[in-house]
Amino acid sequence: MSKNLGKIIKTTLATAALATCLAGGAIAATETSEASSEKHAKAATQYRQAIFQLVRSNMGPLGGMAKGALPFDESVMMTNGVRLEQLADMMSDYLSVDTRKFDVDTGAKDAMWENFSDVESKIAALKEASMGLQAAVKAGDESAYRSAIGKVGASCKSCHDDYKKD
The predicted-structure confidence for 30-76, as pLDDT tens digits, reads as follows: 689 999 999 999 999 999 999 999 999 999 999 999 999 999 999 99
The predicted-structure confidence for 82-107, as pLDDT tens digits, reads as follows: 999 999 999 999 999 999 999 999 99
Residue-range domain boundaries for the chain: 3-163
Fold of 3-163: Four Helix Bundle (Hemerythrin (Met), subunit A) (1.20.120)
* 159 carries a ligand binding annotation: yes
* 21 carries a ligand binding annotation: no
Identify the band that residue 7 occupies on the pLDDT scale cut at 50, 70 and 90. low
Identify the band that residue 28 occupies on the pLDDT scale cut at 50, 70 and 90. very low
Tell me how far apart the alpha carbons of residues 50 and 91 are, in angstroms, rounded to a whole number: 11
Mean of all residue pLDDT scores within the chain: 87
Flag whether pLDDT at 152 surpasses 90: yes
Tell me how far apart the alpha carbons of residues 155 and 122 are, in angstroms, rounded to a whole number: 6
Tell me how far apart the alpha carbons of residues 96 and 75 are, in angstroms, rounded to a whole number: 32
Show Cβ contacts of residue 79 under 8 Å, excluding neighbours closer than 6 positions: none
Q: Could you give the residue ranges of the DSSP H alpha helices within the chain?
A: 3-23, 38-66, 74-95, 111-114, 116-139, 142-163
Per-residue pLDDT, averaged over 1-21, amounts to: 51
Closest CA relative to residue 145, chosen from 86, 73, 84, 88: 73
**pLDDT at residue 20 in the model:** 45
* 156 carries a ligand binding annotation: yes
Task: Please list, residue by residue across 100-120, b when 16 or more beta carbons sit within 10 angstroms of its beta carbon and e when fewer do.
Answer: eebebebebeeebbeebeebb
Q: Are 29 and 96 in contact (CB under 8 A)?
A: yes
**pLDDT at residue 31 in the model:** 84
**pLDDT at residue 86 in the model:** 98
